[in-house]
Amino acid sequence: MHKMAKKSFLAIALMALVATSAACGSNSNNGASATNTEGGSTAATTAPAAGAGGSGSGSGEPVTLTVAWWGSQARHDATLKALDQYKALNPNVSFQTQFSGWDGYFDKLAVQYSAKSAPDIIQMDAAYLNDYAGRGLLADMKDVSVENIEATTMDGGKVNGTQYAIPLGVAALGMVYDKTVVEKLGLEAPKFGWTWDDYYAFGEAAKAKLGKDKYVFADQSADLVDYTAYQYSMGKGYIFDAEGNLSIDKDTWIGFMTKMDELRKKGILTPADITTTDKELDPQLDSVINGNAVVRHLFSNQVGSIEALKPDAFGYASMPYGTEAGGWLKPGMFWSVNAQSAHQAEAVKFVDWFVNNEEAGKTLGLTRGTPVNSKVVEALTPTFSDADKTSLDFLNQVTPDAQKFINDPQGWGNFKNDYKTIVEKLQFGQSTPEEAYAELLKTAEQYAAEAK
């Protein structure tokens, strides 16, 4: 299916529900956002969705809650253990689980909503929060206790002042590199605070020693995260303006893509055929894990996953600086409750426990980023593994001058997919940066029209 057709299909699937989803009012967007930060394995189990069994009134009557999330195997395992803990404390509650990798997660969710079979509890991403909340598909989460959570963190889950999503963790955007390769080549390692000039110099020095068939950077230029960080670092602000319009600076974008093409031709970036098969945190397909490249961008909540795949092999750095920092802090994803659910009270009660219970926090660790509840972090710290400590240090290094995190505008949740298609043409030499920018603007016009 063509990307724009796919986007239209998702929009139609969601819009079809507006008239029948009366549990939440309609909300329009007041911001824009970073893109997705999750890869991970795609091991999955599915079960019938939404609404089976019991009243969900919190009265102790039997109730089955369907819970859906995406992520790595480590996250799946930890979440399943936490569900078992909750069942032990609440014998009337049972769970049906739907977990997978990121790919296709929101396609499936849109179809489930259209069929009125969406899960009761949904792991939500910032790219889609305004879409789902704005169409009245998510319940108000005002009954979740937020006493020990920073107000600015909670704001990431609000749409027009209503709390439609509870952040589960905070993660920082930065970079990971294979330190065993860097040390073997005798190179100065990437670090927190390095600049774009440092980045380019590292690429040249590393390529000279790696030779023909190995590359320095995994080419992630088709990931909107990469350009967002670059535009931020160049002092040009966020990629959407306050009204939710695309605000990609033309000269900055063309300059960035021209430089990426130069690095690609020098063999510093992975070639297009390797780039298009790269899959973050996949043991065989991740270019940094399998040895095709040395450096890629990564979020701090993914440290545990990559360390588990190749222990003691990695070091971490910030996104390169220009006149400003390029990285930001992102709520590591959210729990939302389906406004169509017959079990909203029980679902909200579970989310409150998941976020605020210290024992749950110990089970979940940093699989969704550093927990948002300060008491949970305090209880968790003595149990931190070396990878956990590295992840927390990563977060702390980026935090002081991190750029502002903003949610995607309503209707733009799938824009990153079309962006990827446009940039992939550049990677294969099928267009120029100028032609790609013109196509980008044309695509943006379609999104803007459909978002109205």
State phi, psi for 121 to the nearest 5 degrees: -120, 125
For 173-201, write each residue's pLDDT tens digit.
999 999 999 999 999 999 999 999 999 99
Q: Are the C-beta atoms of 330 and 126 separated by less than 8 Å?
A: yes
Checking if the pLDDT of 90 tops 80, the result is yes
User: pLDDT higher for 304 or 15?
Assistant: 304
* Tokens 């795609």 sit on residue: 42
Instruction: Based on the fold, state whether residues 224 and 137 are members of the same structural domain.
Output: no
Check residue 404 and give its pLDDT.
86
Task: Report the SS3 class of residue 68.
Answer: strand
Instruction: Based on the fold, state whether residues 323 and 334 are members of the same structural domain.
Output: no
At 158, which helix (H) or strand (E)?
A: strand 158-159
pTM of the full structure: 0.76
150-154 average pLDDT score: 87
Query: What CATH number did the domain enclosing 178 receive?
Result: 3.40.190.10
- β-strand partners of 299: 173
Domain count across the chain: 2
Instruction: Based on the fold, state whether residues 223 and 304 are members of the same structural domain.
Output: yes
Quote the Cα angle for 399-400-403, to 5°. Answer: 70
Check residue 46 and give its pLDDT.
36
Instruction: Based on the fold, state whether residues 363 and 323 are members of the same structural domain.
Output: no
Instruction: Based on the fold, state whether residues 336 and 322 are members of the same structural domain.
Output: no
Check residue 414 and give its pLDDT.
86
392-398 average pLDDT score: 94
| DSSP-assigned letter for residue 279 | -
193 is in which domain, residue-wise?
172-329+411-451
Checking if the pLDDT of 398 tops 50, the result is yes
- Domain assignment present for residue 57? The answer is yes
Checking if the pLDDT of 97 tops 60, the result is yes
Instruction: Based on the fold, state whether residues 134 and 55 are members of the same structural domain.
Output: yes
Instruction: Based on the fold, state whether residues 380 and 418 are members of the same structural domain.
Output: no
- Domain assignment present for residue 392? The answer is no
Token output for 416: 């990153």
Check residue 25 and give its pLDDT.
30
Q: Are the C-beta atoms of 314 and 179 separated by less than 8 Å?
A: yes
Instruction: Based on the fold, state whether residues 313 and 190 are members of the same structural domain.
Output: yes
Lowest mean pLDDT among 52-61, 67-76, 276-285, 430-439: 52-61
Lowest mean pLDDT among 53-57, 116-120, 148-152: 53-57
Check residue 67 and give its pLDDT.
98
Check residue 59 and give its pLDDT.
56
Instruction: Based on the fold, state whether residues 180 and 161 are members of the same structural domain.
Output: no
Handedness of CA 277, 413, 132, 108 (dihedral sign): negative
300-327 average pLDDT score: 95
Check residue 127 and give its pLDDT.
85
- Domain assignment present for residue 112? The answer is yes
Q: Could you tell me which of 144, 70, 165, 81 has the C-alpha nearest to residue 360? A: 81
What is the percent of the chain with per-residue pLDDT over 90, rounded to a whole number? Answer: 74
Query: Mind giving me the DSSP string for 230-275?
Result: HHHHTT---SB-TTS-B---HHHHHHHHHHHHHHHHTTSBPPHHHH
- Domain assignment present for residue 397? The answer is no
Q: Which of 338, 355, 387 is the last residue of a domain?
A: 387
Instruction: Based on the fold, state whether residues 382 and 440 are members of the same structural domain.
Output: no
- Domain assignment present for residue 161? The answer is yes
Check residue 72 and give its pLDDT.
85
- Domain assignment present for residue 401? The answer is no
Instruction: Based on the fold, state whether residues 247 and 343 are members of the same structural domain.
Output: no
Instruction: Based on the fold, state whether residues 76 and 198 are members of the same structural domain.
Output: no
Q: Could you tell me which of 303, 305, 309 has the C-alpha nearest to residue 291? A: 309
- Domain assignment present for residue 205? The answer is yes
What is the percent of the chain with per-residue pLDDT over 70, rounded to a whole number? Answer: 87
Q: Are the C-beta atoms of 176 and 304 separated by less than 8 Å?
A: no
- Domain assignment present for residue 13? The answer is yes
